[in-house]
Amino acid sequence: MGQYYYPIILRQRGNRNYSQCFYAHDYDHNGLKLTEHGWCGNLFTETVLSQLFNKPGRLFWFGDYTEPEDFEDSKLWEIVKRHYKKYRIAVDWSKPYGDPSRYTFNNYSHPQMVNKRVGRFILNHTKKVFIDMDRYEEIAPKNEWTDSPLHPLVLLTCTSNGRGGGDYYGPDKEDCGCWMGDLIETQDVRPNGYKDITEDCATYDDK
């Protein structure tokens, strides 16, 4: 069976957590599986990442086969699971995909779809590293179906890769999820004092 993914951006205001959750079918009817939408230039993936432009958040590319043991911090697992369940309840699933009114209940917003990348650099503030997406797209292997590389941030932040069809099983699959829950931001300015790991990431290949 295929595993479906629901990206979640978790932020904190004071002692309270709030989130943005996303559903791939709402964005150009993208597929819900990881490799169906997790590539550079995909409208769904780029829309999610646009919400991190100059606005850091903790990103979880949340798979519905995720288990508590996937989280080192049990409290974080409970927070993410609660926000995922709240999102599933909040959406009016009787309305058609892409209809913003599906998200008017419970204060959930429906960000406008973007058709290009917003923010050249991906910063991991937790690990103090960055990826230059211009350079990444030049050197990373192209997917034979999309003629674009897999998106490194999707793979690095996914919660439960390897449990279903459509997951990533290529080179360096053991790295999938190693950024899960880290503080992530995208911006157009090259960061100072952060390590460039672009070439280290340009090994993902789903051919």
Q: Which of 170, 158, 166 is nearest to 2 (CA)?
A: 166
Predicted pLDDT at 110: 73
- Please state the pTM of the whole predicted model: 0.94
- Output the tens digit of pLDDT for each of the chain's 207 residues: 789 999 999 998 888 888 999 999 999 899 999 999 999 999 999 999 999 999 999 999 999 999 999 999 999 999 999 999 988 888 888 889 888 788 766 556 678 888 889 999 999 999 999 999 999 999 999 987 788 999 999 999 999 999 999 999 999 999 999 999 999 999 999 999 999 999 999 998 876
Predicted pLDDT at 16: 85
Predicted pLDDT at 100: 77
Predicted pLDDT at 151: 97
Predicted pLDDT at 106: 57
Predicted pLDDT at 102: 83
Interatomic CA distance for residues 56 and 9, integer angstroms: 9
> What are the residue ranges spanned by the domains of the chain?
5-201
Predicted pLDDT at 191: 96
Q: Which residues contact 133 (CB under 8 A, 6 or more apart)?
A: 40, 117, 119, 120, 121, 122
Within 10 Å of residue 165's Cβ, how many Cβ atoms? 11
